[in-house]
Amino acid sequence: MNRRWIKILALLMTLVPVMGQAAPVRARLDDNGLQRVKIVAGSYFFQPDHIIVKVGVPVVLEVDTEAGIIPHSLVIWSPRMGIDVNERLATTSIIRFTPRATGQVPFYCEEKLIFFRSHQDRGMTGVLQVVE
């Protein structure tokens, strides 16, 4: 391998972590006191994949799902935080809950075709962070 290729490879490797982790997105508080977050769901990702909301304030997730034949879902489950979301995603889905405790909980798509890796394993996952 010549020196030029080594330089190109080194450059690519510095880019990989940057591409993998987008900045966390904070929910926007609307005039009705609702915390709103827009999410895009697709094969196989959620964007953003790190969402920050405040505890005790109702959350409205507006999930837009990429067109296609592959079904997707959204699961967020934390009894401690009072969150129990399990939705089949339509083209646009509105999901509401109010987090009752601070902390972090993963969210993911639970779709899986038999003999194939789950969408979660393919990267359809993220983190919901609940803060004071």
Contacts with Cu ion, residue ranges (CB under 5 A):
72, 109, 111, 119, 124
CB of 111 to Cu ion, least distance (A): 4
Nearer to Cu ion, 9 or 113 (CB): 113
Please say whether the beta carbons of 51 and 37 come within 8 A.
Answer: yes
Please say whether the beta carbons of 46 and 87 come within 8 A.
Answer: no
Nearer to Cu ion, 99 or 126 (CB): 126
Nearer to Cu ion, 59 or 63 (CB): 63
CB of 124 to Cu ion, least distance (A): 5
CA distance 55 to 107: 17
CB of 39 to Cu ion, least distance (A): 13
Coil, strand or helix at 106: strand
H or E element in which residue 57 lies:
none
